[in-house]
Amino acid sequence: MLESNYTMAEEARETLAMHPQKFAMWLFIVSIVMLFAAFTSAYIVRQAEGDWLFFELPSLFWSSSLILITSSGTMHWALVSARKDNLGTLKLAISLTTLLGLGFLVMQFLAWKDLVTNGIFFAGSQANPSGSFLYVITGVHGFHLISGLVFLLIALYSAFTYRIHAKNLTRIEMCATYWHFLDILWLYLFGFLLLNN
Protein backbone atom coordinates (compact mmCIF):
# COMPACT_ATOMS: atom_id res chain seq x y z
CA MET A 1 0.00 0.00 0.00
CA LEU A 2 2.92 2.30 0.60
CA GLU A 3 3.66 3.02 -3.01
CA SER A 4 1.01 5.61 -3.69
CA ASN A 5 1.30 7.56 -6.90
CA TYR A 6 3.25 10.22 -5.17
CA THR A 7 5.98 10.17 -2.66
CA MET A 8 6.94 13.78 -3.14
CA ALA A 9 4.80 16.60 -1.92
CA GLU A 10 5.20 20.18 -0.95
CA GLU A 11 4.97 20.77 2.76
CA ALA A 12 1.47 21.55 3.95
CA ARG A 13 1.30 24.69 6.07
CA GLU A 14 0.69 24.47 9.77
CA THR A 15 -2.69 25.84 10.75
CA LEU A 16 -3.27 28.25 13.54
CA ALA A 17 -4.06 26.46 16.76
CA MET A 18 -4.48 27.40 20.39
CA HIS A 19 -5.08 25.38 23.49
CA PRO A 20 -8.57 24.01 22.82
CA GLN A 21 -9.71 24.01 26.45
CA LYS A 22 -8.54 27.54 27.11
CA PHE A 23 -10.11 28.66 23.89
CA ALA A 24 -13.42 27.05 24.80
CA MET A 25 -13.24 28.82 28.14
CA TRP A 26 -12.99 32.16 26.37
CA LEU A 27 -16.04 31.30 24.31
CA PHE A 28 -17.88 30.43 27.49
CA ILE A 29 -16.93 33.84 28.82
CA VAL A 30 -18.32 35.44 25.66
CA SER A 31 -21.67 33.77 26.30
CA ILE A 32 -21.72 35.12 29.85
CA VAL A 33 -20.90 38.58 28.55
CA MET A 34 -23.89 38.34 26.22
CA LEU A 35 -26.11 37.28 29.09
CA PHE A 36 -25.21 40.37 31.09
CA ALA A 37 -25.30 42.56 28.01
CA ALA A 38 -28.91 41.45 27.71
CA PHE A 39 -29.68 42.28 31.33
CA THR A 40 -28.03 45.67 31.28
CA SER A 41 -29.59 46.71 27.99
CA ALA A 42 -32.97 45.54 29.23
CA TYR A 43 -32.30 47.72 32.26
CA ILE A 44 -31.65 50.77 30.08
CA VAL A 45 -34.65 50.12 27.83
CA ARG A 46 -36.94 49.69 30.80
CA GLN A 47 -35.54 52.72 32.62
CA ALA A 48 -36.19 54.89 29.57
CA GLU A 49 -39.89 54.09 29.81
CA GLY A 50 -40.26 55.97 33.08
CA ASP A 51 -42.00 54.92 36.32
CA TRP A 52 -38.60 54.05 37.71
CA LEU A 53 -37.73 54.07 41.37
CA PHE A 54 -34.34 55.63 42.13
CA PHE A 55 -32.63 54.59 45.33
CA GLU A 56 -29.22 54.52 47.00
CA LEU A 57 -27.11 51.46 46.22
CA PRO A 58 -26.10 49.58 49.38
CA SER A 59 -22.74 50.92 50.57
CA LEU A 60 -21.70 47.33 51.20
CA PHE A 61 -21.13 46.99 47.46
CA TRP A 62 -18.02 49.14 47.90
CA SER A 63 -16.54 46.76 50.46
CA SER A 64 -17.52 43.68 48.48
CA SER A 65 -15.85 45.18 45.39
CA LEU A 66 -12.71 45.72 47.41
CA ILE A 67 -12.77 42.11 48.58
CA LEU A 68 -13.20 40.83 45.06
CA ILE A 69 -10.34 42.95 43.76
CA THR A 70 -8.13 41.62 46.55
CA SER A 71 -9.10 38.09 45.64
CA SER A 72 -8.01 38.74 42.07
CA GLY A 73 -4.67 39.77 43.51
CA THR A 74 -4.30 36.58 45.54
CA MET A 75 -5.39 34.58 42.51
CA HIS A 76 -2.58 36.12 40.54
CA TRP A 77 -0.22 35.39 43.39
CA ALA A 78 -1.29 31.75 43.20
CA LEU A 79 -0.60 31.64 39.50
CA VAL A 80 2.84 33.17 39.88
CA SER A 81 3.68 30.75 42.69
CA ALA A 82 2.58 27.82 40.55
CA ARG A 83 4.78 29.04 37.73
CA LYS A 84 7.72 29.22 40.10
CA ASP A 85 6.87 25.86 41.63
CA ASN A 86 6.39 27.47 45.06
CA LEU A 87 3.84 24.93 46.10
CA GLY A 88 3.55 26.20 49.66
CA THR A 89 2.57 29.74 48.69
CA LEU A 90 0.39 28.33 45.94
CA LYS A 91 -1.74 26.50 48.49
CA LEU A 92 -1.91 29.53 50.73
CA ALA A 93 -2.84 31.86 47.88
CA ILE A 94 -5.57 29.62 46.49
CA SER A 95 -7.06 29.11 49.95
CA LEU A 96 -7.07 32.86 50.48
CA THR A 97 -8.76 33.43 47.15
CA THR A 98 -11.46 30.92 48.02
CA LEU A 99 -12.05 32.55 51.38
CA LEU A 100 -12.22 36.01 49.85
CA GLY A 101 -14.65 34.70 47.25
CA LEU A 102 -16.85 33.35 50.00
CA GLY A 103 -16.53 36.67 51.80
CA PHE A 104 -17.70 38.48 48.69
CA LEU A 105 -20.80 36.29 48.49
CA VAL A 106 -21.58 36.93 52.16
CA MET A 107 -21.24 40.67 51.60
CA GLN A 108 -23.57 40.54 48.61
CA PHE A 109 -26.08 38.69 50.70
CA LEU A 110 -25.82 41.28 53.49
CA ALA A 111 -26.28 43.99 50.88
CA TRP A 112 -29.52 42.32 49.84
CA LYS A 113 -30.63 42.35 53.45
CA ASP A 114 -29.87 46.07 53.62
CA LEU A 115 -31.98 46.60 50.53
CA VAL A 116 -34.90 44.76 52.07
CA THR A 117 -34.71 46.81 55.27
CA ASN A 118 -34.76 49.93 53.10
CA GLY A 119 -37.93 48.74 51.41
CA ILE A 120 -36.41 47.71 48.07
CA PHE A 121 -38.00 44.37 47.24
CA PHE A 122 -37.35 41.76 44.60
CA ALA A 123 -40.99 40.97 43.99
CA GLY A 124 -44.49 41.66 45.17
CA SER A 125 -46.81 44.62 45.03
CA GLN A 126 -44.29 47.09 46.49
CA ALA A 127 -41.51 46.15 44.12
CA ASN A 128 -40.40 48.39 41.29
CA PRO A 129 -38.54 46.88 38.31
CA SER A 130 -35.50 48.97 39.25
CA GLY A 131 -35.12 46.95 42.44
CA SER A 132 -35.95 43.66 40.78
CA PHE A 133 -33.30 44.29 38.17
CA LEU A 134 -30.74 44.94 40.88
CA TYR A 135 -31.51 41.61 42.51
CA VAL A 136 -31.42 39.74 39.22
CA ILE A 137 -28.16 41.27 38.09
CA THR A 138 -26.36 40.73 41.40
CA GLY A 139 -27.99 37.33 41.83
CA VAL A 140 -26.98 35.97 38.45
CA HIS A 141 -23.49 37.34 38.98
CA GLY A 142 -23.42 35.67 42.38
CA PHE A 143 -24.50 32.44 40.77
CA HIS A 144 -21.58 32.61 38.37
CA LEU A 145 -19.31 33.43 41.27
CA ILE A 146 -20.42 30.21 42.92
CA SER A 147 -19.43 28.35 39.76
CA GLY A 148 -16.08 30.15 40.02
CA LEU A 149 -15.76 28.96 43.62
CA VAL A 150 -16.38 25.39 42.52
CA PHE A 151 -13.62 25.82 39.98
CA LEU A 152 -11.39 27.23 42.74
CA LEU A 153 -12.13 24.28 44.99
CA ILE A 154 -11.14 21.92 42.21
CA ALA A 155 -7.90 23.87 41.80
CA LEU A 156 -7.42 23.85 45.56
CA TYR A 157 -7.82 20.10 45.62
CA SER A 158 -5.35 19.71 42.76
CA ALA A 159 -2.89 21.96 44.55
CA PHE A 160 -3.08 19.92 47.74
CA THR A 161 -2.62 16.69 45.82
CA TYR A 162 0.37 18.22 43.98
CA ARG A 163 -1.23 18.12 40.58
CA ILE A 164 -0.51 21.76 39.87
CA HIS A 165 3.10 22.71 39.25
CA ALA A 166 5.22 24.58 36.76
CA LYS A 167 4.72 21.87 34.16
CA ASN A 168 1.02 21.48 34.65
CA LEU A 169 -0.47 24.95 34.65
CA THR A 170 -3.53 24.58 32.44
CA ARG A 171 -6.00 24.15 35.25
CA ILE A 172 -4.80 27.01 37.38
CA GLU A 173 -4.42 29.28 34.38
CA MET A 174 -8.00 28.65 33.31
CA CYS A 175 -9.17 29.10 36.85
CA ALA A 176 -7.35 32.43 37.06
CA THR A 177 -8.79 33.63 33.76
CA TYR A 178 -12.30 32.84 34.89
CA TRP A 179 -11.81 34.41 38.29
CA HIS A 180 -10.40 37.65 36.90
CA PHE A 181 -13.26 37.72 34.43
CA LEU A 182 -15.83 37.43 37.23
CA ASP A 183 -14.04 40.25 39.01
CA ILE A 184 -14.04 42.54 35.97
CA LEU A 185 -17.65 41.60 35.28
CA TRP A 186 -18.63 42.68 38.76
CA LEU A 187 -16.77 45.96 38.44
CA TYR A 188 -18.57 46.60 35.15
CA LEU A 189 -21.94 45.80 36.71
CA PHE A 190 -21.26 47.94 39.76
CA GLY A 191 -20.10 50.82 37.61
CA PHE A 192 -23.14 50.41 35.41
CA LEU A 193 -25.46 50.49 38.41
CA LEU A 194 -23.70 53.54 39.85
CA LEU A 195 -23.95 55.43 36.57
CA ASN A 196 -27.63 54.64 36.16
CA ASN A 197 -28.70 55.58 39.63
**Residues from 131 through 190 that contact other proteins (CB under 8 A):** 132-133, 136, 140
Would you say 150 or 166 has its CB closer to other proteins? 150
Burial (CB count <10 Å: 0-12, 13-18, 19+), residue 133: buried
Non-local (6+) Cβ contacts of 88 within 8 A are 81
Site string for other proteins, 35-74 (x = CB under 8 A): x-xxx--x--xx--x-xx----------------------
Are 157 and 188 in contact, with CB atoms under 8 Å apart? no
Among 105, 127, 169, 187, binds other proteins (CB under 8 A): 127
CB-side exposure of 186: number of CA atoms within 13 Å?
28
From 73, 92, 96, 129, residue interacting with other proteins (rule: CB under 8 A)? 129
Alpha carbon separation from 110 to 29, 114, 117, 127 (Å, rounded): 27, 6, 11, 19
The correct pick among 62, 109, 122, 188 for binding other proteins (CB under 8 A) is: 122
Q: Which residues bind other proteins (CB under 8 A)?
A: 1-21, 23-24, 27-28, 30-32, 34-35, 37-39, 42, 45-46, 49, 51-52, 122-125, 127-129, 132-133, 136, 140
